[in-house]
Structure 1
Amino acid sequence: MTSISSANNIKERTTEFCSKLQKKSPNKFIEKELFSEIIAEFIRQEYDLIPSKERIGKGAVYISKYIAKALFQFLHKNSLYGIEDYYQFGKVAFQSGEITDNSHLQHFALLFLAEYIYNYPEHFDSILNDVLSYANNDKWEIRESTAYIIISAMRKIPSHTLEILTKLISNQNENIRRLVTESLRPSSTLKWLRDPLKNDQILDLLTLLNKDPSIYVRKSVGNNLKDLSKYMPYKILKLMMDWIEISNIKVHDDLASEIGMSQEQKRLLWTIKHALRWLKKNNPEFHPKIKNILGNNYILYFDEKRNRLAKPF
């Protein structure tokens, strides 16, 4: 039996909801502020339908994603919105969520705008300033969802999007730099990022942030590389070794302790440890190579959860 919270069921209920609304009150689609309120209530109802045991994997972002997809398809199929209307509705919905402190509606708005850019990628540049504003939101979960808009652009206009991300990497705002790294995560949506023959430019961008002063940014860089290590362990191990050599770091048993390192070297070592934690834990066949990068004590004593050595006295 299909779960009530399946993606298809959410989309079907959304389409049915929109069809009923169109028959009863078609003008409500045009009144964007009112329509935002209606959608907010529908999202709440959908969220309440999710069984508690499924909430961890199927929260606000999951629900909003499929409501946004179905709503966009309905509006497009029935010619209810012009191109600019999609953008205006997404913007109004986000503002409404901001005013009412409704993060679910804000997630929806960002995912709706992601659908807009996926279908109309030529308008990406025109909404970029808004995207950067959303990426600097006070709520970290909203900042994270902003990446979906960039990901949509990456799917349709990757070369142009990478040009923009390359410029953003030098932004003084850590939230914007983090947006870059989160937009380049090797998810199933962007499977080509997992291809070692195609992702050199991605690794070059991550390399530029490997000693970033913000741990918020470096954590994202490390997470990205950790994910990539599952698909291309040899390439990631070589990259880590290259980083060590370029930084003139001498490898020794206790290197992972960072004792005696400069501030920049400590930041780099932190990123490398964060990047290699999957291989260390799950692939003992790579331990000899990892020792050559971070030293023997990293293998023997490193605590992944606390990202520090737990060497016994």
Structure 2
Amino acid sequence: TEHHIRADDLDGLDDPGDQEVRFSYWTPSHRNYRPFCVSRYRGARKGLVSDADIAAVGYSSSDIGILRANALKESGGAFGAINTWDDQIVSWGMAQFAGQAGTLALLLARLAEGERTSASFGRWFRDEGVDVARGEYPWKAGRTKRGWHVVITAADGAVYRGSEGWQYLRTQPRLIGAFLLAGNDPAIQLGQIEFWRAAFLQRALDKQVSFASGPGGPIRRYLTSERGLAVIVRLHNWMPSYVVQWCNRFIAQLEREHPGRDLSDPYQWDQALEDGLVQKISDERKRVKKGSYDTYALDLRRTRGSYVGSADD
């Protein structure tokens, strides 16, 4: 069954326009079938936010290139893209902000609070019974956690928090439609972009790596190309803890391969070292998970020094 959700089907929308999204749950014939799984939809609106809009929230031209490369891989560039099939329960947005990991609730909290986004948050989410709160909430395997979490109030008044809220949302086509439609709102799109810069891009580039030969520092000191740093950001978007683990392991290999060379000194790095580290990371990604970085961010510059940060970096 294909579900058609129009903006004017949602209670809180004053000026719905002609927006409509369509999606279907997986059917039993799907290779990895489980109930209430969604991974694709129709009706995404792209190109609503200009490079000038993105630069206004702190992005450099290099950052914009990395943003677009990552979004293309995560969601095909669709800001409403939703995934209800993996262990995050619900992931949403251009970077697939994750439900169980907590980044999706944190994003929603920022949208609810933001001067540019609070009205849109109310329209698409709060008026449909989707909100956020801070405190203790059901997490996983019978455990609880503290922090920002989703709070969903059903039509019958029942309230679902945290992971229980995301599980409930999976079963509600109307709420899935609200998330898909919210992704077509330019204010929500720019809100996602602004959040991703602070929560993903900058954190990835500032990850501290270490060396046997001397003190370490942020990975951006040692990898300085657009494409090299794009690979780091992509790894962070998937598994943040792997950035330091993998970089430290492969830097140690490079130190053994280049004895007598102080790799803790950024001035000792050259194009061959940068390419070598990026290739080791790419090879490890292929080893541990289906898919690779071989076709990722190929339009970004690989030359050392090609990455240009923003004014506040």
- For the superposition of Structure 1 and Structure 2, which TM-score range results when normalised by the shorter chain? under 0.3
Give the helix-richer structure, 1 or 2: 1
Select the structure of larger CA radius of gyration: 1
- The structure, 1 or 2, with the larger RCO (C-alpha pairs under 8 Å, 6+ apart) is 2
Give the TM-score normalised by structure 2. 0.26
Give the strand-richer structure, 1 or 2: 2
